[in-house]
Structure 1
Amino acid sequence: MKLLSVLPFVASLVAAAPSSESLTSRALSTPNVTPSTVTVKGVSLLGSGCPAGTADVQIDATGTLLEVTFSEYIIQTGPGTRASDWRKNCKLTINLAYNEGFQFATLATEMRGFAQIPKGSRGTCTNVFDFTGESGQTQYSISLPGEREGPFSLKADPDLVSWSPCGGTTAILNQNTQCNISPTQSQALIAVDRISGKITVSVSLEWRKCR
């Protein structure tokens, strides 16, 4: 398995930290309510899995689906690989702008990519979300046990969620994506899908009105 013969990465999804009581008490849950405008105002990247210019963030017209794609994210183990190949991560800082009077949480998450994992090996990917200035986290984890080879699409739902703060028109959503493979002696791979050339993390957003 040669590095140049594959495209990069995968990852994510379950268990979440609870939102704080003070945060919950400041908002009233209202189903199927969304702001009229939701936009991505800026994104910054940091990590071994996302060199500059290799990750992209988009939000759909309804403001309820956030999609993050990675084009240079490869984890591989086996002969000729190094510790820096066995684990990758990318921390994204996403600035979302929307109409005043709303807050949101990350819900169901889907991760799509390519994996080649032999029997006896296992890949693991996690996506952790939190809001700048808030203490709660929402975490999603997926497992890729061997033996498997081909595209994957794995979904997860959190047991508990954290909400963005009320009282403003922007929120900084932090996403930390990490993937690793063990044991490191066997030849294995988590990478971008060979057709799309990307690893994709799709995140459903739920909105509610603040009190």
Structure 2
Amino acid sequence: MKLLSALSLVPLVAAAPAAEVSPRGLEVPNSVVPSSVRVRGISLLGSGCPAGSADVQIDATKTLIEVTFSEYIVETGPGTRAADWRKNCKLTLNLEFDEGFQFATLATDMSGFAQIPTGSRGICTNTFDFTGATGSSQYALALPGPREGPFTLHADPDVVSWSPCGGTTAIMNMNTQCNISPTQNPALIAVDRISGKVTVNISVQWQKC
């Protein structure tokens, strides 16, 4: 598990009155946002995010979280092992913000590189929940063959889960996992060859409790 040092974010200007598109392409819905948000701590654990290979950033609007992985590689075919066929990373993000707010994850974009032949299928699943709250949001992203090249996949949850009210902190848990089947065919889900990363962009909405 890797614990990253806490970081402070610059104050946010007033929210725009209409929905807008973030610099990374996710639509950001109307929302009232806290005047300050601070990341108190981040932990990362899993085969897809060995120490030093993952990074978390929050954009200036506080409505987009970007998680990048530089060693997230899923591979099947001759010479591969069970550990290669599936990768996962559990991220725990501890946020501190103004009292009287809560937030939810609304959508995800996942991008990387895929080489999936006919007859094979890749799937990535991102699951979000909040410590102390019931329910979770799950996003399934399918990569059926044949395809080869960069990909960006968008998904919305069936159920939106909100962080608990009544405090100034919330712990968001994200578990991302990808696998390919069948395992005997050569196939790959990996970092993009240009950016060198697998990226998960998470659209976030705030509201007053």
Which TM-score band (shorter chain)?
Answer: 0.7 to 0.9
Q: What corresponds to 1:180 in structure 2?
A: 179
User: 1:176 aligns to what SS in structure 2?
Assistant: strand
- Unaligned runs of 5+ residues in structure 1 are 1-29
Question: CA-to-partner distance for each residue in 1:58-113, whole Å, 9 max, x for gaps?
Answer: 10111100110101110000000000000010001111111111000000110010
Q: What corresponds to 2:26 in structure 1?
A: none
Q: What corresponds to 1:202 in structure 2?
A: 201
Cα drift, residue 31 of structure 1: 4.5
Q: Aligned ranges for residues 80-95 of structure 1 at < 5 Å?
A: 80-95=79-94
Report the Cα distance in structure 1 between the residues aligned to 2:52 and 2:131, rounded to whole angstroms: 23
Q: What corresponds to 1:63 in structure 2?
A: 62
User: 2:184 aligns to what SS in structure 1?
Assistant: coil
Question: CA-to-partner distance for each residue in 1:3-39, whole Å, 9 max, x for gaps?
Answer: xxxxxxxxxxxxxxxxxxxxxxxxxxx9421111122
User: 2:207 aligns to what SS in structure 1?
Assistant: strand
Q: Aligned ranges for residues 26-175 of structure 1 at < 5 Å?
A: 31-175=30-174
Report the Cα distance in structure 2 between the residues aligned to 1:162 and 1:64, rounded to whole angstroms: 15
- Unaligned runs of 5+ residues in structure 2 are 1-28
TM-score (normalizing by structure 1): 0.84
Percent identity between the two aligned chains? 76
**Letter of the 2:187 counterpart:** A
Report the Cα distance in structure 2 between the residues aligned to 1:31 and 1:145, rounded to whole angstroms: 34
User: 2:80 aligns to what SS in structure 1?
Assistant: coil
**Letter of the 1:56 counterpart:** D
Report the Cα distance in structure 2 between the residues aligned to 1:111 and 1:47, rounded to whole angstroms: 18
User: 2:159 aligns to what SS in structure 1?
Assistant: coil
Report the Cα distance in structure 1 between the residues aligned to 2:204 and 2:175, rounded to whole angstroms: 17
How many residues are treated as equivalent by the alignment? 181
Report the Cα distance in structure 2 between the residues aligned to 1:121 and 1:40, rounded to whole angstroms: 39
Say whether the 8 Å CA contact 1:113–1:192 is kept in structure 2: yes
Q: Highest relative contact order (Cα 8 Å, sep 6+), 1 or 2? A: 1
Q: What corresponds to 2:21 in structure 1?
A: none
**Letter of the 1:81 counterpart:** T
User: 1:126 aligns to what SS in structure 2?
Assistant: strand
**Alignment RMSD (CA, Å):** 1.1
**Letter of the 1:195 counterpart:** I
Say whether the 8 Å CA contact 2:138–2:158 is kept in structure 1: no
